[in-house]
Amino acid sequence: MVPSVVSLGQWVPVRALPGGWCRWRGPDGPAVALTFDDGPDPRTTPAVLDRLDALGLTATFFCLGVHAAAHPDLVREVAARGHQVETHGHRHEHHFARRPGWVRHDLDDALSAMAAAGVRPRWFRPPFGQTTGPTLVEARRHDLRVVLWSAWGREWDEPDAASVARRVTGGLDRGAIVLLHDADVGSPVGSSARAVEALGPIADALAARGLRAVTLDTLVAA
């Protein structure tokens, strides 16, 4: 029943499960967390970073271990440019029907790759948002908190950046955690480029609503 329970947070206005087992939103305050999954990728992540800098936005990047191992300097650049770096697991594979040992080894590998890049994650977003009993147990074993999202762009499914922006801004309320992507992993080429282009309208919506973009740690601490 765990997957059914945790999926509710994407559709109903719950912020987190008791005990910190899973989080979808931050506190009810004038801030949101923009988050990016699936990188880092030298072909796409730098464009995301440059656009965030140009707009004065801060974000949190959930990196895959296999990509962090291949591009540790890019992981360090993300952090050096003022963004938070967390883990998306090691391999971008489904958690459904996985035994606890598989999840444990995947997180072991992910944390090793991140440590080699100089980062010790505190948050974990499972690939595809698939959160099972073993996902939650092994995250807790590794001293990681599971976080999903309350708004997303679905860049792989939308025809253009304007549609991505409309989807995000439709859920851009106080404490929102927004899911976007800085790499085209398992998505059509150009999906992350739509996210980059959508950041301008998203920044405009934040300003109009009196919201600011902060790191996930800052959002939750607030």
Give the residues across from 36 on adjacent strands.
61, 180
pTM above 0.85, yes or no: yes
pLDDT at 1: 58
Domain membership of residue 29 (yes or no) is: yes
Q: Scanning the structure block, which residue is given the tokens 């912020």?
A: 15
Cβ proximity of 198 and 165 under 8 Å = yes
Return the SS3 of 164.
helix
Domain membership of residue 15 (yes or no) is: no
Rounded mean pLDDT, 45-50 = 98
pLDDT at 53: 98
Q: Scanning the structure block, which residue is given the tokens 């959508």?
A: 198
Query: How far separated are the first and last CA of the chain, in Å rounded?
Result: 31
Domain membership of residue 53 (yes or no) is: yes
Domain membership of residue 16 (yes or no) is: no
Give φ, ψ of 25 to 5 degrees.
Answer: -145, 160
Domain count across the chain:
1
Which is nearest to 6 in space by CA: 105, 96, 109? 96
Supply the range of the domain harboring residue 176: 2-6+21-221
pLDDT at 186: 78
Cβ proximity of 195 and 182 under 8 Å = yes
Torsion angle, alpha carbons of 101, 118, 199, 190, to 10: -60
Residues tagged active-site: 37, 181
CA-CA distance, 17 to 9, in Å (whole number)?
9
Tell me the per-residue pLDDT of 117-150, one tens digit each, with 9 for 90 and over.
999 999 999 999 989 999 999 999 999 999 999 9
More confident residue, 206 or 185: 206
Which is nearest to 45 in space by CA: 164, 169, 181, 149? 181
Residue 204: give its domain's CATH number. Answer: 3.20.20.370
Domain membership of residue 177 (yes or no) is: yes
pLDDT at 14: 85
Least confident of 10-19, 54-63, 187-196, 209-218: 10-19
CA-CA distance, 46 to 90, in Å (whole number)?
21
Q: Scanning the structure block, which residue is given the tokens 């650049």?
A: 77
Cβ proximity of 177 and 27 under 8 Å = no
Least confident of 9-13, 17-21, 25-29, 97-101: 9-13
Domain membership of residue 14 (yes or no) is: no
Cβ proximity of 170 and 154 under 8 Å = no
Give φ, ψ of 146 to 5 degrees.
Answer: -85, 135
Domain membership of residue 12 (yes or no) is: no
